[in-house]
Structure 1
Amino acid sequence: MCSHYEAPTPSQLSDAFGIEVDPQGKLDLWPGYIGPFLRRSEHEFGEEGEGAPLELLSGSFGLIPGWSKDTKIARRTYNARSETVAEKPSFRNAWRRAQHCLVVASAIYEPDWRTGKAVPTRIARADGEVMCIAGLWEQWRDPGTQQILLSYTMLTVNADSHAFMSNYHKPQDEKRMVVILPRGLYRDWLEAPVEESASFMARYPADRLAVVPKTSS
């Protein structure tokens, strides 16, 4: 499970996706904070033979379903278990509509309990590239102001036997990890129909992840 991660800088996003990015808010993100995510553009079309271009949007880290009375639910919906996402009331609408997105991160944080105490550990791709985590997006209308707020969640899979991620979280707890997608599957995930969504719920190879200390800016 992941409740804390770093969003990429505008220059990292521009380098990775060729998208011009305006200066953004917080890069250190927790549930309920506003962060960036990518989805297929709903308003533009690519050249002949190409899919719709990607659009970078901002939303709440933590999915807010349309029926929610307020945004507090985001504190509990930042991760969605792939095994139950199709049935859980908070997520099933976004899953059944295949509202897929890419949650972009430069690193995620997980607690390492091997010393007997929780040590926040910064985990990134070993090659230094931006992480793209399979996610779902949703939109919510504020009942008071009628303003629309976008939100997103990260999908997770079991990691009990994963050579890298099984080292994190309490020893007695089930080990989970977010679904990090390889670059070749980014557009496939964004364009996949609901019937194919479950096929993307795979564990990222252990040798492609690394503990990377945060560098001072």
Structure 2
Amino acid sequence: MCSHYDPLLDAKNLRQHFGVDDIPPSLKSSLWPTYVGPFVRKHANADVGDEAVPFKELMVGSFGLIPHWSKDTSIAKRTYNARSETVHEKPSFRDSWRLNRHCIIPAEAIFEPDWRTGKAVPTRIVRTDGKPMGIAGIWTGWKNPANGEILRSFSMLTVNADDHEFMRNYHKPDDEKRMVVILHEDEYDGWLAAPADDCRQYLKQFPADLIAVSQTGPQ
């Protein structure tokens, strides 16, 4: 599970690695649930047949999915990760899944607790090749009942990692080991375009030799 990550905010790198030309607004450089961060989705008008419309667009939203029926945004503190095994049936996530609202969360790094010393040691994890992570997620929009404004939000998808050579070292010893779904670059467009009934091939572990620790201790 991942409740803390560093988003990719550099416009040049977003263009190079994710193919979006939008310039992100001023955002926090390290995010926790309810913080606002960038995500990439299939452009709202990508299917109109206009070559001038890009396939992808950069959006910003709350880290933690806020379903349309929620009375307020506090639910985001509990919906920042969605289990890939049950995302289709959980009330908070099932509408986004059914509507194929796939997204990619661009990240410089994720943080996980290393409990091997008996205490939780915050650990910053990155790709070994220096590229940013493209984390598979789902998104939605929520209408604020007070002012009618639309707030977008997103959640990272996770898979079991009990047998993952790297990620099995994180979280409490007796807890199930989980990891976010990190996509390969050649999977980005496929993930964004895939229908709900034909997208689970993307929900898999990322190779252990392609991720590593970059920093440990207080972050």
Normalising by the smaller structure, the TM-score range is over 0.9
**Equivalent position to 1:54, from 43, 53, 56:** 56
Q: Deviations over 1:123-155 (max 9, x none)?
A: 011101010011000000011111000000000
After superposition, where does 1:50-89 map in structure 2 within 5 Å?
A: 52-89=54-91
Which residue of 193, 196, 199 corresponds with 2:198?
Answer: 196
Return the alpha-carbon distance in structure 2 between the equivalents of residues 6 and 65 of structure 1: 24
SS in 1 for 2:76: helix
Question: Percent identity at matched positions?
Answer: 56
List structure 1 segments (4+ residues) > 3 angstroms apart after TM superposition.
Answer: 44-48
TM-score by length of 1: 0.93
Q: For 1:213, which of 208, 212, 215 is the aligned residue?
A: 215
- Structure 2, unaligned stretches of length 5 or more? none
Asked if 1:92 is matched to 2:94, the reply is: yes
Secondary structure of 1:139's counterpart equals: strand
Q: Aligned partners of 1:207 and 1:46: how far apart in 2?
A: 40
Change (3 A) 1:22 1:159: closer
Number of residues of Structure 1 aligned to a counterpart in Structure 2:
213
How far off is 1:61 after superposition? 0.2
1:186 to 166, 188, 192: 188
Deviation at 1:17, TM superposition (A): 3.1
Q: Which residue of 2 aligns with 1:143?
A: 145
Counterpart code for 2:62: S
Find the counterpart in structure 2 of residue 16 from structure 1: 17
Aligned equivalent of 1:30, options 15, 32, 54: 32
Q: Which residue of 1 aligns with 2:4?
A: 4
For the residue of structure 2 that corresponds to 1:199, the secondary structure is helix
Q: How far apart, in 2, do the equivalents of 1:163 and 1:81 lie? A: 20
Which string of whole-angstrom CA distances, capped at 9 and with x for unpartnered residues, describes residues 64-90 of structure 1?
Answer: 000000000000000000111111000
